[in-house]
């Protein structure tokens, strides 16, 4: 060939220049024409293996060179053309069932372990990352949700009967507290340990609310134990008040035989009297005059002045001459006024009962030296 020739293959055209002709034309040009959407042919812009044709400005065919290993085609950031993009290789950080992948600094994948029962995935307080949060900590009927440290939700179990929800003693949270511990008619509320309200059950009839014996709390106590006409109140163990019912006709109130309490005594009160001369020493006899089957138990000796005594006299009383079985020798200070009495409780001696027909003796051991003193002596006792 001496002139450039053109060959067309399929939809392509091939041109040849003969050897030895114009150097500028001494080549073979092969051009591949591709059909356009309009049905015409266009120039193939590809020049290397794996090139791609992409639409350029106004759809003109444009060469896109092959990408690098592991790249893929993706629309560019401006959404104006496609471009090769390096694939992101994501390492799986999860190690346990229930883990999830979250993005940390610069979107680096990281593992978030599974939460606990009833937690939900929420954004943290700083709005910087997701986290597991307990939304409903309740697990039983009657539970309520309260805020704890930093407002974290927590479960408060149901309280007990008659409790109410109150601020706790330290004013740091809410808690169940017993407001009304009463459970029966007549109950009262009193302060227990640390002032906690406690129930005090109704007392018994005639009791009153008082401070207890240890002065540590209040308690029901019997103030008026009497329940019938003639009752009297007397002290029992530890001074507790008690009722002593009325005695029978003729009884008198005395200390019991054990000397531990009061008791009604049915013994007859009896007395015998005799005049004595205080100016002379010796015995004055006093006949009881009762039946021998009876017994006389002296309780007092009463000496009454009938004529002024200016000096002291010494008395003793017994069941025999100059005896001291009833009362040991006792100095009687001057009776300066007629009618003045000297009462001697029989405590110095402990004697057995005296026969009802016995004779008692009042002995003047030391006389009134002025010689004017006179008196009556009266033995008082029980006749049983």
Output the pTM of the full model.
0.34
Pairing of strands 313-318, 327-332: antiparallel
pLDDT tens readout for residues 45-56? 999 999 999 988
* Contact predicate 24/16, CB 8 Å: no
Q: Where are the alpha helices (DSSP H) in the chain?
A: none
Among 211, 206, 236, CA closest to 224: 206
* Contact predicate 379/299, CB 8 Å: no
Place of tokens 């109130």: 253
Question: What domains appear along the chain, each with residue ranges and CATH number?
Answer: 5-86 (no CATH), 97-158 (no CATH), 232-265 (no CATH), 268-383 (2.60.120.1110)
Spell 283-307 as b/e; 16+ CB within 10 A means b: bbebebebeeebbbebeebbbbbbe
pLDDT tens readout for residues 5-19? 444 444 444 444 444
pLDDT tens readout for residues 93-106? 999 999 999 988 87
pLDDT tens readout for residues 189-212? 998 888 888 899 999 887 889 998
Looking at the chain, the whole-number percentage of residues with pLDDT higher than 70 is 84
* pLDDT higher than threshold 70 for residue 185: yes
What is residue 118's three-state secondary structure? coil
* Contact predicate 274/301, CB 8 Å: no
Cα 290 to Cα 81: distance, rounded to the nearest angstrom: 150
Region of residue 216 (left: phi > 0; alpha: psi -120 to 50; beta: else): alpha
pLDDT tens readout for residues 136-145? 888 899 999 9
Mean pLDDT, residues 34-40: 55
Mean pLDDT, residues 335-357: 74
Rg value, the chain, Cα: 64
């Amino acid at each position: 060939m001496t002139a450039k020739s053109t060959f067309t293959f399929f939809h392509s055209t091939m041109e040849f220049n003969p050897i030895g002709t114009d150097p500028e034309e001494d080549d073979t040009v092969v051009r591949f024409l591709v059909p356009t959407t309009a049905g015409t042919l266009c120039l193939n812009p590809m020049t290397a293996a794996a090139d791609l044709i992409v639409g350029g400005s106004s759809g003109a065919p444009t060469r896109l060179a092959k990408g690098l290993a592991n790249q893929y085609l993706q629309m560019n950031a401006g959404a104006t053309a496609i471009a090769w993009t390096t694939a992101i290789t994501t390492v799986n950080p999860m190690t346990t069932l229930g883990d999830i992948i979250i993005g940390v600094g610069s979107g680096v994948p990281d593992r978030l372990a599974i939460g606990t029962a009833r937690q939900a995935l929420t954004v943290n307080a700083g709005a910087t990352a997701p986290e597991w949060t307990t939304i409903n900590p309740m697990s039983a009927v009657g539970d309520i949700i309260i805020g704890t440290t930093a407002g974290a939700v927590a479960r408060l179990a149901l309280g007990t009967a008659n409790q109410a929800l109150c601020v706790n003693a330290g004013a740091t949270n809410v808690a169940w507290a017993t407001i009304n511990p009463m459970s029966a008619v007549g109950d009262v509320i009193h302060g227990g340990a640390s002032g906690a309200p406690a129930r005090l059950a109704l007392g018994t009839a005639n009791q009153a609310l008082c401070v207890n014996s240890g002065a540590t709390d209040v308690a029901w106590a019997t103030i008026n134990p009497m329940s019938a006409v003639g009752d009297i109140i007397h002290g029992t163990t530890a001074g507790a008040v008690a009722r002593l019912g009325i005695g029978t006709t003729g009884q008198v109130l005395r200390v019991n035989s054990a000397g531990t309490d009061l008791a009604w005594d049915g013994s007859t009160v009896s007395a015998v009297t005799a005049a004595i001369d205080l100016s002379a020493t010796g015995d004055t006899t006093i006949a009881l005059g009762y039946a021998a089957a009876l017994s006389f138990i002296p309780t007092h000796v009463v000496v009454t002045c009938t004529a002024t005594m200016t000096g002291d006299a010494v008395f003793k009383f017994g069941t025999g001459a100059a005896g001291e079985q009833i009362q040991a020798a006792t100095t009687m200070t001057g009776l300066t006024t007629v009618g003045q009495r000297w009462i001697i409780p029989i405590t110095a001696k402990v004697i057995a009962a005296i026969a009802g027909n016995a004779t008692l003796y009042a002995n003047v051991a030391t006389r009134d030296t002025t010689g004017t003193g006179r008196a009556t002596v009266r033995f008082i006792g029980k006749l049983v």
